[in-house]
Chains A and B, each alone.
Chain A
Amino acid sequence: GQNIDQPTEMTATEGAIVQINCTYQTSGFNGLFWYQQHAGEAPTFLSYNVLDGLEEKGRFSSFLSRSKGYSYLLLKELQMKDSASYLCAVMDSNYQLIWGAGTKLIIKP
């Protein structure tokens, strides 16, 4: 079966760095997406990785290793507004998105 695993919840301190991991097992691979979802709101697109390596976009970076079925989202210089759920999603061979359950990130002052 298809499976996406990510931690349920993480806590970090304002100004620090946090890494949210995602491992996946899917039938085929056409890319991995990270989304941010604040409580009560719809998800917003953060990043897309289809090749191995690190993609940097401001304070957020996303890494992919296809051979390991592994990705992480790295958030630097954490701000209180970064408190949200972070969703990992993999596009399989049928171009269907398989969603992880999300990681709730709590930022403390």
Chain B
Amino acid sequence: GAVVSQHPSRVICKSGTSVKIECRSLDFQATTMFWYRQFPKQSLMLMATSNEGSKATYEQGVEKDKFLINHASLTLSTLTVTSAHPEDSSFYICSARDREVQPQHFGDGTRLSIL
């Protein structure tokens, strides 16, 4: 149980393109979903937390207009990187949990490369 599916697994695109990443909880209702970014050989960095039906809470330093998060249902959250640039190239990982005191279960991540 507790499977989180994330798509696409890899994206390579030109600078200026907008990229949408989907995160789905397959066998549970994810009241909260999280979006992380991880640069090579660095720690996980939380970007934002989203609760179903409400606006995402962004961490300090994360531009909400650049990283658009939508959590429209209990099983789906999307992250859109708008007008991506090479410095946005990173490993983006989503996670989800159904209740507060429960482990977060992670998707497989999306490796984004902006040329």
User: Which of A's residues lie within 8 Å of B, judged by CB?
Assistant: 30-31, 33, 40-45, 48, 50, 87, 91, 95-97, 99-102
Contacts and interface: CB of A to CB of B under 8 A. Distances in A.
Given A30-B100, A30-B101, A42 B107 contact: yes
Given A41-B108, A41-B109, A42-B108, A33 B44 contact: no
Contacts of B93: 42-43
- Residue from the set B2, B43, B108 with the largest chain A CB neighbour count within 10 Å: B43
B83 to A, nearest CB: 26
Interface residues of B, number: 19
A40 B101 CA distance: 27
Interface in B72-115: 91, 93, 95, 100-101, 103-109
Contacts of B6: 42
A102 to B, nearest CB: 6
Interface of B: 2, 6, 34, 43-44, 46, 49, 91, 93, 95, 100-101, 103-109
Contacts of B34: 97
Given A41-B108, A101-B43, A102-B43, A33 B101 contact: no
A33 B106 CA distance: 13
B62 to A, nearest CB: 15
B18 to A, nearest CB: 23
B96 to A, nearest CB: 12
B107 to A, nearest CB: 6
A100 B42 CA distance: 11
Nearest to B34: A97
Given A99-B43, A102-B43, A45 B103 contact: yes
Given A99-B43, A99-B44, A102-B43, A48 B103 contact: yes
A42 B106 contact: yes
B103 to A, nearest CB: 4
